[in-house]
Amino acid sequence: MRRKAAGHDQGCEGQGEVIDPAGAPAAVTVRAVPLSSLDSSGEMLQSGFWGSFKQEHGWQASPFSVGAGSTTFGLLVLTRRLARFFTIAYVPFGPVHDPCTGRAVFLEALARQLQSFLPRRTLLLRFDLPWSKVGETPVAGRGATRVRKSASDMQPASTVIVDIARPLDEVLSSLKSKTRYNVRLAEKKGVTVTEGSADDLDRWYSIYRETARRDRIGIHSLSYYRGLLRSSRSYPGAAPEVKLLLAWHDGDLLAGNIVAFWKTQAVYLYGASSGVKRNLMPTYALQWEAIRRAHAAGCLTYDLFGVPPLPDPGHAMFGLYQFKTGFSDKVLERWGTWDVPYMPAAAGLYRAAERARMFYHRGLRKRLRTRAPVPPAADQTS
């Protein structure tokens, strides 16, 4: 029997309005609320748990209730000091409400209403929009001139969603043939997946550093991931189950994933794999075990959390695209990260510095220093 499908990509259908029938922007209102008010959010990165966790790692969390026309929703805003004089404000995967029309007007009105609640010298408000990439862009709309695309996306703008609101054997049958073969191969070769504890994080992190060096990605310190597991158990309100899944073979730790189970969805957050016994396909075993556990927990979707938007063989992450789309061909494209500046001149300089930094790390540095140390994570979001 099929479970009730999740509303992951329903787009704009059935959502509230921000533009009234006469075409005038509806009023946007904002009021501060306790962090626990966000516990009911369907988006983990907009939850009270996420705000509490990020406060342990350099951010300040500000929770709000937002009214937009006939719609009311919770909003988590994170703020962080830049140098000694400025602050950046950031909304991870929010707002969850998509007006569909008048998006730029809505974002600018929301930013304007939030400004008085933010530190005085806040450069800009950064939205990581979770909205499906359909309809008008976030810069279309009358009079909305301040909404600008960020130099890079803080959260993945495209992701792969596995529909698990059906019997598990149907989920397995829906995998691409090569992926299904590799899942079965890992099992046949004796790869086992167990749930690790905080005591296993040191070993997992050493493999994660190996992965970061190999794939040229930035990572957080070990304390960040240790704190994530700890917070999922200590937060007093609604919290996700955060699991460390480890793939083993004859006593060798081959790979490990951190997966969050939040309400009706499970999300693959971080993955590490060593160069040992890769022919045994441990990463396939890990993903299938996560899917199996998510299904058993009653989740409706499994989010593989980040792929390139198109199957471009020239893209540095094309291999990742092939791996993840083997589990599902459903690629969800979102609008990505957008800025509304409060201090246009200073924000412009900050954004230009970000673009220069991205050019250096993604292009010039790789060409000049092919064996450079692992770059630190930007720590903007996850």
Whole-number pLDDT of residue 12: 65
> Which residues neighbour 95 within 8 Å (Cβ) at sequence distance 6 or greater?
66, 73, 75, 110, 127
373 cis-preceded (ω within 30 degrees of 0)? no
Which tokens in the block code for residue 80? 């962080």
Pair type for strands 301-303 and 265-273: parallel
Whole-number pLDDT of residue 55: 97
Which tokens in the block code for residue 113? 């209403």
Report d(CA 253, CA 260) in Å as an integer.
21
> Which residues neighbour 256 within 8 Å (Cβ) at sequence distance 6 or greater?
196, 200, 204, 207, 208, 244, 245, 246, 247, 271, 272, 286
Whole-number pLDDT of residue 3: 65
Report d(CA 304, CA 268) in Å as an integer.
5
Whole-number pLDDT of residue 215: 86
Secondary structure class of 117 (helix, strand, coil) = helix
First to last CA, the chain: 35
Q: Which of 62, 11, 13 is nearest to 35 (CA)?
A: 62
Domains of the chain: 28-154+335-368 (3.40.630.30), 166-299 (3.40.630.30)
Whole-number pLDDT of residue 316: 80
Q: List, for the chain, all residue ranges whose pLDDT scores fall below the cut of 50.
A: 6-10, 13-24, 364-365, 368-382
Whole-number pLDDT of residue 377: 45
Whole-number pLDDT of residue 141: 55
Whole-number pLDDT of residue 318: 87
Q: Which of 339, 337, 350, 355 is nearest to 85 (CA)?
A: 350
Phi, psi of 181 (to 5 degrees): -60, -45
Q: Given CA atoms 89, 14, 27, 34 in this order, what sign does their dihedral have?
A: negative
Secondary structure class of 196 (helix, strand, coil) = strand
> Token pair 């569909």 is at which residue?
100
